[in-house]
Amino acid sequence: MKFVDYVTIYAKAGHGGKGCVSFLREKFKPMGGPDGGDGGKGADIIFMADAQLNTLLDHKYKRHYKGRNGGNGKGSNMHGANGEDLIIKVPTGTVVRNADTDEIIADLTSDAQAAVVMKGGRGGKGNAHFKSSTYQSPKFSQPGEDGEEAGLILELKLIADIGLIGMPNAGKSTLIAAVSAARPKIGPYPFTTLVPNLGVVKLKNYMSFTVADIPGIIEGAHDGAGLGLQFLRHAERTSLLLHLVDCSEHIEDDPVDVLGVINRELGHYAETLISKEQVVVGTKLDVAGEGARLGKLRQYCAEHGIPFFAISAAASLGLDELVAYVSTRLAELKKLRPSS
């Protein structure tokens, strides 16, 4: 299924129904009072999170949503029907913003959470409301009010505790595949991963946490190099970033420079991302061994107080230590959840 995490749509809630002007007419009561009923309320447009969904694809092609109008009021004090609310399902983690003002209207972070995003117009009052002791036969009623309408930006920001970041080929997908049931594509070339993958890490104590494998980032990504920085939106909600650096000796780039390149790109994306807690993970320990690159990275992290782990996801080295550290940290942050 195609992964879409950003769409713009247009939504218009229903218009309120008109209030009615009517007078009671009965055989023996020629001067019956006003009995015009109220108009019904226009439909609200409601967004609801659905954990079964994982893409905004449906909304890429259907861009206009309109709520039903309220029915007009009728004689004999009959209220017009309310427009039935329009419920639009979106993946859990969807943020709804006003496209003009950028204001966040709803942030749907848990399954079945719902929010009224555009309010339907109120129905107008019928003439029966306007009768008073001095004014027995009001010949007017209120029109219904307009429903709210706006251009909306829907943005899916995956809900994960841990984000895996790093250069292409660093071993992010191999790591998520080693610690969770996720089965992303793995390949010896850059940009194997083109959309983020989510995995759940189940711990022995029946607790769990979620990991997002985020497509690789390269220098200049903020200017559009590689896949750009668009997928970093899926790191925004994480509590901890694992920053993977390939420690194989055949790689020429200095591993500390690599760390800097990625961190600068994070900074270009958002201040909040660069200030997130990081753990540096030297990968491919099975082929790298305790070589010069790994040693340099380890020393840099020690000097800067950054937690550092060396792993091989392929040969299952250092994974238990890494998962233990991450789960302890998440427990401290009260982010672990019971496994389902």
Binding site for ligand GTP (CB under 6 A): 166, 168-174, 186-188, 190-193, 215-216, 283-284, 286-287, 312-314
Question: Minimum CB separation from ligand GTP for residue 7, in Å?
Answer: 24
The entry of Mg ion, ligand GTP, none that residue 313 binds, CB within 5 to 8 Å by partner kind: ligand GTP
Is the distance from CB of 285 to CB of 175 less than 8 angstroms? no
By beta carbon distance, the residue nearest ligand GTP is: 216
Question: Minimum CB separation from ligand GTP for residue 83, in Å?
Answer: 47
The entry of ligand GTP, Mg ion, none that residue 191 binds, CB within 5 to 8 Å by partner kind: ligand GTP
The entry of ligand GTP, Mg ion, none that residue 286 binds, CB within 5 to 8 Å by partner kind: ligand GTP
Q: Which is nearer to ligand GTP, 90 or 235 (CB)?
A: 235
The entry of Mg ion, ligand GTP, none that residue 283 binds, CB within 5 to 8 Å by partner kind: ligand GTP
Q: Which is nearer to Mg ion, 144 or 163 (CB)?
A: 163
Q: Which is nearer to ligand GTP, 96 or 221 (CB)?
A: 221
Q: Which is nearer to ligand GTP, 207 or 218 (CB)?
A: 218
Radius of gyration of the chain (CA): 29
Q: Which is nearer to ligand GTP, 67 or 168 (CB)?
A: 168
Question: Minimum CB separation from ligand GTP for residue 317, in Å?
Answer: 8
Question: Minimum CB separation from ligand GTP for residue 196, in Å?
Answer: 10
